[in-house]
Structure 1
Amino acid sequence: MFDWKKPTVQMLGRWQPWHDGHQALFKRCIAKTGQVAIQVRDVQGASGGDGQDDNPFNWDEVCQNIEAGLLKDGFKRGQEYEIMLVPNIVNITYGRGVGYTFEEEVFDTSVTEISATKIRQKLRDEGKLN
């Protein structure tokens, strides 16, 4: 059961769509605290920021994609993770001594080369996405 008082790792993104790179990041996050809060910037049809204008998936589709992806590795919503709708956050600001850190995870080339832009184009080429 997801414990709202337990230390938790946050993943914030558009997830357009959820892919193997996100899956790899999730696995690193879950290893840190045992649970993850996945925050979804619902930006379908809007700009997610500089160079982030292609956002064809809506909130429900993003949630379904995340749940299906994580279930492949046995992770279940409400247990190891929760998904939250958040505004179109484009800046994260913090003060001193806030009790959390910002960390960049570094992966090998096979993961860093995964591109949601290329995935969306492939889906369009296959007629699976408008």
Structure 2
Amino acid sequence: MQSRYSLYIGRFQPFHKGHAWCIREMISNGKKVCVAVMDIHELEPEKNPYTYNEVLKKISEDMNEELQKNQMMITSIPAIESVNYGRDVGYDLIEHKPPKEVAKISSTDIRKNIMKQG
């Protein structure tokens, strides 16, 4: 039987605790999650140093339990420039506001620290 999923779109460059928090928040609300990873490395490698396969590996390692329980799935999507929908499309648009300690996590800062370490 097919399930409905909550869609979570991102570059995940790199995947970090803030992303994991958001996925687990959706799961804790009884949702299955489809993590849609933008395959954008080749378009903007300076801002997106990780390939789709590297991002997939990191998410799979960090979210192994949720994947094993079939609470989430991961898929690749092309680089997108907007998300569009028509009227009364039959699904909700939901913003998840993380706690302060999670909100302060910055992928940009993480990438800079990784580059400094070599």
TM-score (ref. length: structure 1): 0.83
How far, CA to CA, are the matches of 2:61 and 2:38 in structure 1? 19
* 1:61 shift after superposition: 0.1
Deviation string 1:73-122 (CA, Å, 9 cap, x unpaired) is x2226822111111111211111111111111111211110000111111
Counterpart residue number, 1:59: 52
Mark the CA change 1:86 to 1:58 in structure 2 (over 3 Å): closer, same or farther.
Answer: same
Are the counterparts in 2 of residues 45 and 54 from structure 1 also a CA contact under 8 Å? no
Q: Choose the corresponding residue for 2:38, options 30, 38, 41.
A: 41
Which of 74, 89, 111 pairs up with 1:98?
89
The Cα RMSD (Å) is 1.8
The alignment of Structure 1 onto Structure 2 pairs a total of residues equal to: 118
Match of 1:69 in 2: 62
Q: How far apart are 1:34 and its partner, in Å? A: 3.8
Q: Does 2:3 correspond to 1:9? A: no
More strand by share: 2
| Superposed displacement of residue 30, structure 1 | 1.4
Higher mean C-alpha displacement, 77-86 vs 5-14: 77-86
1:76 maps to a residue whose letter is L
Greater fraction helix: 2
* TM-score normalised by the chain length of structure 2: 0.90
- What 5-or-longer segments of structure 1 have no aligned partner? none
CA drift at 1:70: 0.9
Q: Deviations over 1:42-70 (max 9, x none)?
A: 1103249xxxx610000110000101111
